[in-house]
Structure 1
Amino acid sequence: MLTTILPPVPKTISQGYELLVSDLDSVITAMHQHLQDFIGCAPGCSSCCRQFSILPLEAAFLADSVDVSLQSPGSGGLCSQLIDNRCSIYPQRPLICRTQGLPIGYIDEDREQIEVSACRLNFPEDHQFDHRDLLLLDSFNSRLAALNSTYCQAFEIADETRIPLG
């Protein structure tokens, strides 16, 4: 149920997106194993599941895959895709949702350092991260941006368009 109908994702772009998801999921699985003593995320934990927006490609992929409502925000700032604190679109969830709970490293080239964003339910404020503990998303985000750009160009959608989810 989209407020704006998005064209279906062409097969070549869909295959590229599915490969991206598979590659990211492989890295995430390895990280979960590496950080298993810290990661407390489990079904029913929805602390990270907030209202946000996604790229047109991901919105179209979701619309092609599941019956998803992309127009109505959830209550209290929560994602509208939550049902009883569980993700109703879990197998097809966007990339940002897949990375929740993991420590994300952002490379700040200007300051020549890595900024870390981590769930405080999993990692205390003073947790010391090793470089092996960090999920660096730049290459995944670049691939997603390129696929989204190809999708948007094919259907004359502005690249900077964002679709609310939740």
Structure 2
Amino acid sequence: MNFDTLRQKIEEATKKAFIEMFENYGADEIYGFALYSDEGAMTVCPSTNTLKHLTTVDQDDLTYHKFEPAEWKYEMKGADEEFNEICIQLRTELEENEFLDNHEYNEEWFLKFQSQLYKTCIGVLEKLKNEGFFNKIVGKDIFLTFTVSEYEFETKDLENIINKLNDDAYKTEYLDWMKTWGR
């Protein structure tokens, strides 16, 4: 798979998704945007949340709902066609390469593919953050993250993701929240 081409497609889809979310829900005060994948590296999807939605969640678990994209209001919303096309490409690549000619699972190839996909998603978010893309649209810094469903990053890896993608109070709050996890 050409990851430069994939990076460009993910970037274009991310921009389109965020703009769609802002056009439809900007009045609800968007504060968070994420890309996420799955452990099988078959998907890339956006997730967006708003401050308005946070007023509807269990306040005892507010921090969790604030920072966990799987709990966000607009999960898998925005640039639907573009992200569906990306997912089809990922599944096709997996089908063509995940197994060797003798039908043996090609773990080395898969782990490299998975790692490169995750790095690509993080890189797209970091690039857009550094260009001020999100800030220009909503007029302020927002919380950005990349996550993987059914998967836990090592603490240090998660800290690196949060540090790369955030420069604001959200970063501090997230890192402080991590200290309460008791890992």
TM-score normalised by L of structure 2: 0.26
Q: State the structure with bigger RCO (CA 8 A, min sep 6), 1 or 2.
A: 1
